[in-house]
Chains A and B, each alone.
Chain A
Amino acid sequence: MSQNHRNNIEGVVEKIAREHFELDESLEKIIWFNPDDTEEINLLEINPITPATGDVMSFYFPPSSKVPYDLHLAEVTPEEWQKVLQNEIPLPEGWDLKSYQVLSREMAAA
């Protein structure tokens, strides 16, 4: 993996995170799964006002001019996130609890 690729995808994720926190005051944090992956972005948003469904429904958005990567996006409640951490709710295929980064509102604003 080149450092350039890494910087690019990191910059895109930071931009997405900043925008999402700006748009949604209730968004608590964003979990970036597999941050070493330079081909796609997997984000799980923790938001208390999303309907609790007991699973992680992720949606795919193809690359665009603004986000030139495959984007997989899901949203769960904080309680559901705790269950994910306890392996009670499965993650989408390939999302790895051993490899994630937490993006907070403070970090995104910095």
Chain B
Amino acid sequence: MKNRRNWQIAFLKQARNDWAAYQRTLHSPWSVSDRLHYLQMTTEKLGKALLLGSKMDFELATSRHTAFVKFLRVANHNYNLHSKLGLTRAQLQLYFSRFLPIAREIEVLAPALSQGGPNPEYPWADKSGQVYVPADYEFPLVELLQSPWGLHLIKFIGIFLVDFEKLFLR
């Protein structure tokens, strides 16, 4: 029998590791694709750590790439988060509704979800056959992440990771 808590903490630790790597990529000489790769991996593993706290089937929980957006849709119902941030539920709802399109763009960076299109890991081709290299590509998501809501989202991801035990564990 699998110990879900051990697996949950393992995914959390790896998400924190990816987050630390993401922080390092904010400085040159790292490419934008490196930065987005680590950000996507952070949110994917954070999503899995969150799912493992629930009663979802283990294999399903650990194989999903889409947990982070789903989580943001219900996260405003976490009362511990209200206390931590000093925000009302309605205020949190506003934040999360603005985060969703940006989070979705992060989520679909996963090669499994990118449908043969832009992703930070593998080259891809457009319909005309032109081949793109992630390291050279100008990802439109970067601009979204630099918007006020993008910056808030990044801040929230940091809070989820740092305070995970207080916010999501009993």
Task: Give A residues with C-beta under 8 Å from B.
Answer: 16, 19-20, 23-24, 45, 50-51, 53, 55-67, 70-75, 90, 92-95
Instruction: Count chain B CB atoms within 10 A of each CB in A45, A62, A63, A90 and give the residue with the most.
Output: A62
- Residue among A24, A63, A71, A73 with the most chain B CB within 10 A? A73
Q: B169 to nearest A CB, angstroms? A: 6
Residues A23 and B55 in contact, CB atoms below 8 Å apart: no
**Bound complex: CA A67 to CA B170 (Å):** 13
Q: Which residues of A contact B128 (CB under 8 A)?
A: none
Query: B62-101: which residues lie under 8 A (CB-CB) from chain A?
Result: 64, 66-67, 69-71, 73-80, 83, 89-90, 93
- Minimum CB–CB distance from A34 to chain B (whole Å) comes to 11
For B93, the chain A residues whose CB sits under 8 A away are: 23-24
B69 — nearest CB in chain A belongs to which residue? Answer: A51
Pairwise interchain contact B74-A93, C-beta atoms closer than 8 A: no
Chain B residue nearest to A19 in the complex (CB): B89
CA distance A71 to B81 in the complex (A): 14
- A59 and B83 contact, CB distance less than 8 A: no
Q: Are A73 and B74 in contact (CB under 8 A)?
A: yes
CA–CA, A58 to B67, complex, Å?
9
Given the interface pairs A23-B89, A63-B170, A75-B73, the reply to whether A51 lies near B56 with Cβ below 8 Å is: no
Which of the candidate stretches B13-21, B29-37, B46-54, B137-145 sits at the interface with the other chain?
B46-54
Among residues of A, the one whose C-beta sits closest to the C-beta of B56 is: A92
Q: Please state if B77 and A61 are interface contacts (CB–CB under 8 Å).
A: yes
Taking a contact as CB atoms under 8 Å apart, the answer to whether B57 and A93 are in contact is: yes
User: A59 with B55: in contact, given A23-B90, A67-B79, A73-B74 (CB under 8 Å)?
Assistant: no
Q: Bound state CA distance, A45 and B167, in angstroms?
A: 21
Q: Other than A50-B70, A64-B83, A93-B57, give 5 A-B pairs with Cβ distance below 8 A.
A: A51-B73, A55-B60, A58-B51, A59-B54, A67-B79
Q: How far is the CA of A64 from the CA of B67 in the complex (A)?
A: 23
Please measure, in the bound complex, the distance between the C-alpha atom of A95 and the C-alpha atom of B54, giving whole angstroms.
11
* A72 close to B54 (CB less than 8 A): yes
The interface centre, meaning the residue of B55, B64, B169 with most chain A CB atoms within 10 A of its CB, is B55
Q: B54's contact among A19, A23, A24, A58, by CB below 8 Å, is which?
A: A58
B168 CB within 8 Å of chain A: yes
Q: How far is the CA of A44 from the CA of B93 in the complex (A)?
A: 18
> Nearest A residue to B52 by beta-carbon distance?
A60
| A53-B66 in contact given A60-B168, A93-B57 (Cβ < 8 Å) | yes
- B55:A93 contact, CB within 8 angstroms: yes
